[in-house]
Amino acid sequence: MIGKNMNLKEEAAKKALSFVKSGMILGLGTGSTAAYFVDMLGEKISTGELVDIRGVPTSKETEVRARKWGIPIVRLGEYPKLSLAVDGADEVDPALNLIKGLGRALLREKIVEVHAEQFVVIVDDSKMVARLGTRDALPVEILPFEAEAHIRWLNTLGCRAELWTEDDSSPAVTDNGNYLVKCWFKEGIANAYELAQALSTRPGIVEHGLFLDMATKVIVAEDKNIRILEK
């Protein structure tokens, strides 16, 4: 039963915390749902319920949050195999493929999470979709150099691609110094694997928000219960 004083994101994060054991090296995700997880993890560490935990953050924002809790920060160069990575998602399809990146950290998230023995995704049920691209835009990270050319090419892929901008109309910039583009697909993404391949081989496209065949578990918080989906 979902707790009266917790929202669905918190409940999903709380369930993910049950997979964490002392001594683990964790990938720490980015975004509002992942922030709940980092806070709960920090509380467990501060009370001594979890010990010898280290974390690899997926963004500067997450690193700041983890350090405030005293979570030791390490790098993949030191620890190339992570026990577990926990992060949210913007969309999850029936095959547990994901769209991620609307928290602006898709490249670092993918780098960290591909090193995890287990990648646990935490979402509320609103993020579940029949086809990727039907609920939100697909974020794509591009080089600032000749950005207009990259956006023009993205618009040939059956989507409406627009530069992601701040409130003052300046380009949104990632922790890596790159720009972001939002790609909207009117009827969703017909073939996510083909699209991922096309994006991965195009010069100037740094990374995309399709996380395919990466999630090992998806924790879905609903109004009255929590489901754990596995491949």
Q: Token pair 């990259």 is at which residue?
A: 150
Does the active-site annotation cover 109? yes
- DSSP code per residue over 108-161: HHHHHHTTBS-EEEEEEGGGB-SSTTSSSPEEEEE-STTHHHHHHHHTTSSSEE
Residues 6+ apart with CB under 8 A from 113: 27, 29, 58, 85, 87, 119, 211, 214
Token duo for residue 72: 């030791």
Rounded distance between C-alpha atoms, residue 17 and residue 105, angstroms: 22
Inter-CA distances, 159 with 16, 52, 134, Å? 34, 46, 12
Q: In degrees to the nearest 10, what's the CA dihedral of 30, 114, 134, 11?
A: -50
Choose the catalytic residue: 11, 61, 91, 109.
Answer: 109
How many residues in total does the chain contain? Answer: 231
Task: Supply angle C-alpha 75, 231, 215, rounded to 5.
Answer: 25
**Which positions are annotated as active-site residues?**
109
